[in-house]
């Protein structure tokens, strides 16, 4: 499937790639968003009996799947861990979590797992019949914040969805008065679609039931995945599930650490839909026509919840508090520490049309998708002297199939740089991806730090969708006029990360108390 890039401008920066939104606070839940966005076509009809509301008519256009609730954790290794797979240290444990999806969009989402197809009607969002590749996949992840460092410490294979229950749940949508709405509009194809306002619950036991599907077989941007996933290793109880090292969980080794669990859905209808009309295909491309809408609805498919970890030997994980819906777990770092900055780094990617089975049913048309990275940063002034500033970064790839294999930070001039580090989360259970850490190159006289993946061809340890890598260092240079660049993996192009360094206000201890004598004289 071919890729192309569309050029546009953002935040005063020019690039061959789309830049992300400006300095972002943690996304608000749907009920907190004020009306203001409009449908690309305000006259588009919703299903009969469904009322247009700010949450379900103006802000959520087309098929739009998210997770409204994470519930239940299965521990497959409560009796003790076994030696970890490559990339993990010591003994490892395995877990799975329950997910409850909801269609907050304006039309049904295909949820098909039948070889002969599931739906024969077509519309602007469903140009061809649904096939058994038009279903959801579910990713599960685990994160930790320890001593100011945010890291992903575990990930699972993918649960492939089947047969929606189309249940009603008051948490799914709201009515015009901002109150819960219990309505679920049954879709035309029954269990082969997820209807508007409807939910579909997968318990932890179901999401942890093997065989699961490899992430390497699924495209996080446009939700291409196989009819029959190939599965993976199943020698150890943790295989294919959320794999995590015991050392990353043991409370005795992680005092003060905070944990979060995250679920994420990827489904074709959702990934290729959104409120913005699609740009035209690049010249000479676009076999079978171009999808009408720019794919943006995949950006709200992740939700997270805080987790507690019990002691050895069981290392039981339990959930604490409500699910933070439609929000990736990286934003939990900002909630925990409001000084964390988070920005989006976006690119619009063109995918050529792909044939549809059974033969003769046409093409899934060519389509544009907004691929997104969340980039988070925390800068701390530690002391005067050689290394006065400590920098912590975490970069989350929510849906980019293009992926990234390098990260470069440039200061405006020479800089003393030290204590440079890197942390990734490794694929496992027979995935083909390499597990080597990225290499680090420091050029102090030119003020540059570069992290680069070891080149292993298609199996390079790239920052792939549904994963977060962390980077850190110390420097004597404050965070002003810096530039940040991701090197993309599947195409030889850079992607700028638009941190607004010039707007940072970092003061030495004492500012909050009003003691101006303690302000740092070196910080603008």
Question: DSSP per residue over 440-455, as a string?
Answer: EEEEGGGTEEEEE---
**Confidence band (pLDDT; 50, 70, 90) for 189?**
confident
Residue 7 has pLDDT above 80, yes or no: no
pLDDT at 54 over 70: no
Q: What is the arrangement of strands in the sheet containing 341-351, beginning at the earlier edge strand? A: 3-5, 341-351, 367-381, 389-397, 467-475, 417-423
pLDDT of residue 289: 66
Distance CA 44, CA 57 (A): 9
Average pLDDT of the segment spanning 508-521: 32
> How does pLDDT run across 311-366, given as a tens digit for each residue?
999 999 999 999 999 999 999 999 999 999 999 999 999 888 766 655 555 557 78
Query: How far, in Å, CA of 375 to CA of 409, rounded?
Result: 13
By the 8 A CB rule, do 334 and 372 touch? no
**Chain segment 96-116, per-residue pLDDT in tens:** 999 999 999 988 999 988 777
Higher-pLDDT residue of 182, 467: 467
CA distances from 491 to 5, 271, 278, 280, 296 (A): 10, 21, 22, 21, 21
Q: What is the pLDDT of residues 284-323, one digit of tens each?
A: 676 556 777 899 999 999 999 999 999 999 999 999 999 9
The percent helix, strand, coil of the chain (3-state, each to 5) is 10, 35, 55
Please give the residue that has the higher pLDDT: either 504 or 101: 101
How far, in Å, CA of 395 to CA of 471, rounded? Answer: 8
pLDDT for 352: 82
What percent of the chain stands above pLDDT 90? Answer: 63
pLDDT at 437: 98
Q: In this structure, what are the phi and psi dihedrals at residue 336, rounded to the nearest 5 degrees?
A: -70, -35
What is the reported pLDDT for 279? 83
Residue 520 has pLDDT above 60, yes or no: no
pTM comes to 0.85
- pLDDT band for 56, please (50, 70, 90 cuts): very low
Residue of 449, 454, 448 lying closest to 489 (CA atoms): 454
**So what's the pLDDT on residue 366?**
82
**Weakest mean pLDDT among 239-243, 285-289, 317-321, 434-438:** 285-289
């Amino acid at each position: 499937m071919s890729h192309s890039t569309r050029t546009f401008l953002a935040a005063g920066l020019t690039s061959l790639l789309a830049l992300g939104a400006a300095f972002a606070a943690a996304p608000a839940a749907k009920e907190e968003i004020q009306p203001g966005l409009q449908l690309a076509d305000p006259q588009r009809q919703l299903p009969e009996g469904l009322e247009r509301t700010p949450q379900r008519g103006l802000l959520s256009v087309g098929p739009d799947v998210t997770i409204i609730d994470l519930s239940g954790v299965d521990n497959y290794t409560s009796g003790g861990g076994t030696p970890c797979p490559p990339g993990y240290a010591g003994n490892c444990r395995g877990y799975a979590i329950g997910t409850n999806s909801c269609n907050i969009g304006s039309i049904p989402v295909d949820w098909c797992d039948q070889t002969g197809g599931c739906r024969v009607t077509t519309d602007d969002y469903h140009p061809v019949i649904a096939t058994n590749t038009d279903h959801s996949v579910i990713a599960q992840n685990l994160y930790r914040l320890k001593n100011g460092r945010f890291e992903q410490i575990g990930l699972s294979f993918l649960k492939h969805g089947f047969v929606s229950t189309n249940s009603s749940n008051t948490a799914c949508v709201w009515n015009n008065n901002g109150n819960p709405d219990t309505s679920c509009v049954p879709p035309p194809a029954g269990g082969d679609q997820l209807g508007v306002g409807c939910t579909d619950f997968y318990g932890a036991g179901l999401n942890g039931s093997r065989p699961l599907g490899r992430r390497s077989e699924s495209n996080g941007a446009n939700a291409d995945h196989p009819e029959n996933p190939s599965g993976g290793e199943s020698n150890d109880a943790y295989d294919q599930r959320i794999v995590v090292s015991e050392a990353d969980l043991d409370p005795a080794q992680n005092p003060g650490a905070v944990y979060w669990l995250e679920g994420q859905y990827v489904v074709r209808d959702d990934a290729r839909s959104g409120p913005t009309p699609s740009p035209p295909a690049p010249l000479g491309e676009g076999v079978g026509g171009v999808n009408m809408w720019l794919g943006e609805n995949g950006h709200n498919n992740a939700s997270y919840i805080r987790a507690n970890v019990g002691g050895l030997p069981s290392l039981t994980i339990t959930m604490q508090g409500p699910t933070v819906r439609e929000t990736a777990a990286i934003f939990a770092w900002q909630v925990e520490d409001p000084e964390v900055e988070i920005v989006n780094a976006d690119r619009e990617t063109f995918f050529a049309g792909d044939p549809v089975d059974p033969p003769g049913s046409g093409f899934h048309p060519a389509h544009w998708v907004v691929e997104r990275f969340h980039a988070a940063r925390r800068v701390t002034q530690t002391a005067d002297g050689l290394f006065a500033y400590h920098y912590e970064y975490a970069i989350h790839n929510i849906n980019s199939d293009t992926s990234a294999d390098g990260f470069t930070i440039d200061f405006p001039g020479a800089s003393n740089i030290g204590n440079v580090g890197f942390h990734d989360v490794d694929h496992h259970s027979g995935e083909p991806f390499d597990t080597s850490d990225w290499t680090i190159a420091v050029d102090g006289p030119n003020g540059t730090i570069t992290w680069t993946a070891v080149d292993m061809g298609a199996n390079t340890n790239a920052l792939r969708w549904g994963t977060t890598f962390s980077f850190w260092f110390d420097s004597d240079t404050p965070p002003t006029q810096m530039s940040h660049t991701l090197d993309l993996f599947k195409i030889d192009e850079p992607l700028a990360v638009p941190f607004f360094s010039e707007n940072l206000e970092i003061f030495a201890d004492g500012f909050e108390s009003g003691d101006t004598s303690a302000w740092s004289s070196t910080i603008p």
